[in-house]
Amino acid sequence: MSNKIKLAIIGIGRMGITHYSIINTHPAVIIKAVVDSSSLVTNLIHKYINTIHTYTDYNDLFENENLDAIIICTPPTLHYPIAIKAYEKEIHVFSEKPFTTKKKKAEELAELFEQKHLVNQVGYVNRFNDIFKAVKRYINKGIIGNVINFKSEMYSRTITKSEEGKTWRDSRENGGGAVFEVASHAIDLVNFLIGKPDKVTGSCMTSIFSKNVEDAVNATLLYKNGISGTLNVNWSDESFRKPTNKIEIFGSQGKILADQHGIKIFMKKKSPENNLREGWNTIYITDVFKPVPFYVRGNEFTAQLYHFIDCITGKEKRNSCTFRDAAATLEILEAIFNDYELNGKF
């Protein structure tokens, strides 16, 4: 019991609810406390799980609890001050994306957590999706030769009605808008699979329903080595039942098309050692999935949190999807904002 990782969750919204359920099943973890600005939510948890301490202010959490790890699921603008507090107390941190709203702050946190060797991870969950992991293996092996260009897309039906502009999602300052919420996933996937772009151009941001933020984003991503790609994101697209990432990568020896459910690979020449024939090949999630100990919403959600815990216990040596990775993603998000301000307006 005393050897267990003492953990708290800050922010019990949609992601906080899911993370609680998953992490609570990890045998090495004991949830000590939750924090939410709504006392209704904390009261409800306390009533049914009376061993859990509840707070409406995260400052009280750090003052009163002796913790090993926290999961941050607050609106993004609070990620930084909470992570700083955790750093001061030498607490390992899993933060939801986009991980702060400023590249500079994200880099500062990456630096601090690396110095103290604290486990630091951000919820770019696609990096733990079995399909995208397989795509990464194919690209690293050079299955499609040299990458030449790509398309990264993400669609969801997050905002489908006119917004009154009252929630944090409708404020860029608080980390709302389709760039922070949705494009961040599509860009992180590019960073993960191909590497960080060197330049952003042709950015366009469109409001569809939101009052103060963008609902759709386009941009062109360029690399010094000649690779180029496009980004196309829309969080007001009702034709998608679930949030969906799509990536298309064209290479000198073939092409990969992938979403969370499957991969299609076109091969110029067959590759028997990789079980790929000339022409089209299809790989389904059922071909590459790795079962997880407990399932809610998708294998990747469990895989990412168990990875966080395994890094703390030392079972896993290589911390992935780190603050450093998230800072690189934020750098591109900021580049899109800047490019649009400078070049995208008439």
Closest approach, Cβ 43 to another protein, in A, equals 6
Closest approach, Cβ 245 to another protein, in A, equals 11
Q: Which is nearer to another protein, 160 or 220 (CB)?
A: 160
Closest approach, Cβ 259 to another protein, in A, equals 6
Binding residues (CB under 8 A) for another protein: these are: 12-14, 17-18, 20-22, 24-25, 38, 40-41, 43-44, 47-49, 157-161, 167, 169, 241-242, 244, 259, 261-262, 284-287, 289, 291-297, 302
Residue 81: asked if its preceding bond is cis (omega within 30°), the reply is no
Closest approach, Cβ 123 to another protein, in A, equals 15
CA angle 39–40–41, rounded 5-degree value: 90
Q: Which is nearer to another protein, 191 or 245 (CB)?
A: 245
Q: Which is nearer to another protein, 27 or 314 (CB)?
A: 27
Closest approach, Cβ 71 to another protein, in A, equals 13
Tokens found for residue 55: 């707070």
Three-class DSSP labels, 226-263: CCEEEEEEECECCCCCCCEEEEEEEECCEEEEEECCEE
Tokens found for residue 229: 């790609």
Q: Which is nearer to another protein, 44 or 148 (CB)?
A: 44
Asked if 102 and 189 count as a contact pair (C-beta separation under 8 A), the reply is no
Strand duo 69-72 + 199-206: pairing? unpaired
Q: Which is nearer to another protein, 2 or 51 (CB)?
A: 51
HSE of 303, CA atoms in CB hemisphere, 13 A: 17
